[in-house]
Amino acid sequence: MTPQPRTRTQLPKRTVSIIGTGSYLPERVLTNAELEKMVETSDDWITSRTGIRERRIAAEGEFTSDLAAKAAQSAIENAGITAEEIDLIIIATITPDHFMPSTACIVQTKIGAKRAVCFDISAACSGFLYAVEIAQQFITSHTYNTILVVGADKLSSIVNWKDRNTCVLFGDGAGAAILRHRAHGHGVIATRMGSNGQLAELLQVPGGGCACPITAENAGERLNTIRMEGRETFKHAVTNMVESARQVLDDAGLTPADLACVIPHQANLRIISAVAERLEVPLERIMVNLDRFGNTSAAAVAIALDEANRTGRMKVGDYVLLVVFGGGMTWASSVIQW
């Protein structure tokens, strides 16, 4: 009998590995001492409430696509591949260079990934893990082999520098990963994603879209900047990150004691400590770099992953948990065997 060609759904499930990571932070450092001169705040308040000491701010002519392209190039080098090998580019961002074209298309040209299909996704601080899950689905379905995922944001472009409730929290940066099927290797074991649009108003940029365009009349209201109900956001962040982490560990058949490293979204040290305490993971196994970079939205977990990779915090075979939370509201967690 002539063998029938196998459809994609009949093909064997493939292991999806992160084969390289990269990141880029702009040169300009903005310290808490400098913020003291801009709004009524203090280094002591910022450090004790958030753990942030300084953050990076992109130059005026440096855009999200520039940050993303530099992070992508460093991930390509780390993976030991060429840009032409990339089949798909997904950029997670809430600060695209333009509404159209996508930032992914701009990055494609900047890095010379001529063969790649390109699109952006919007899931605020959860964007990088959402994009990793999309990439993993494309690889396991045998649609693409090599995917570049980038979390990149120039939050300084949507911060109200007169609002002390928010301007002390955010920074600019980009983190990237190359995902590929690896026949004999470790990879992404399980991922959980969640969203709750009913909580959208707790963290939003109300203006600039078609529902509320910026006009000459409302230009002074800074509607195209971040508004946040900090205390409520904090509570939902802790609850959903813990719940999501427990679910994904359960899916993976692991317990917190099995984890060599936890890489959380870098929003606030108190959120990270509360999550660590509830999961019963000692703080020394948690990756923290928000003291140097603040909250860089979609980039944060990707930058932390790259730092953990390059500083040898994860050895081959280690179990690593990534867990994120952001506007939408959105959250996600992934267990990866490194």
Q: Which residues are catalytic?
A: 125, 265, 295
Q: With binding defined as CB under 6 A, does residue 49 bind ligand ACO?
A: yes
Question: Which residue in 118, 125, 193, 262 binds ligand ACO (CB under 6 A)?
Answer: 125
Alpha helix positions (H), the chain: 32-36, 43-50, 64-79, 103-111, 127-140, 164-167, 230-252, 269-279, 290-293, 300-310
Minimum distance, C-beta of residue 44 to ligand ACO, in the bound complex (Å)? 9
If the CB atoms of residues 235 and 285 are measured against ligand ACO, the closer one turns out to be 235
**Residue 61: count of CB within 10 angstroms of its CB:** 6
Which of positions 178-237 make contact with ligand ACO (CB under 6 A)? 203, 230-231, 233-234, 237
Determine if the peptide bond prior to 206 is cis (ω within 30°): no
Question: Which residue in 122, 160, 165, 247 binds ligand ACO (CB under 6 A)?
Answer: 165
Which of positions 289-318 make contact with ligand ACO (CB under 6 A)? 295, 297
If the CB atoms of residues 295 and 333 are measured against ligand ACO, the closer one turns out to be 295
Q: With binding defined as CB under 6 A, does residue 142 bind ligand ACO?
A: no
Q: Which stretch binds ligand ACO (CB under 6 A): 8-16, 182-190, 216-224, 263-271?
A: 263-271
- The CA distance from 35 to 174, in Å, is 22
Q: 205 by DSSP, 3-state: which?
A: coil
If the CB atoms of residues 160 and 165 are measured against ligand ACO, the closer one turns out to be 165
CA 323 to chain centre: 10
Q: Which stretch binds ligand ACO (CB under 6 A): 38-46, 61-69, 171-179, 191-199?
A: 38-46
Residues 322/121, Cβ–Cβ less than 8 Å: no
If the CB atoms of residues 238 and 314 are measured against ligand ACO, the closer one turns out to be 238
Residues 124/323, Cβ–Cβ less than 8 Å: no
Q: With binding defined as CB under 6 A, does residue 164 bind ligand ACO?
A: yes
Q: With binding defined as CB under 6 A, does residue 268 bind ligand ACO?
A: yes
Residues 22/11, Cβ–Cβ less than 8 Å: no
**Residue 196: count of CB within 10 angstroms of its CB:** 13
Structure tokens that stand for 180 in this block: 């590929």
Distant-in-sequence, close-in-space partners of 297: CB < 8 Å, separation ≥ 6: 93, 94, 95, 124, 125, 127, 151, 153, 155, 170, 326
What are the residues binding ligand ACO (CB under 6 A)?
A: 41, 45-46, 49-50, 124-125, 164-165, 168, 203, 230-231, 233-234, 237, 267-268, 271, 295, 297, 325-327
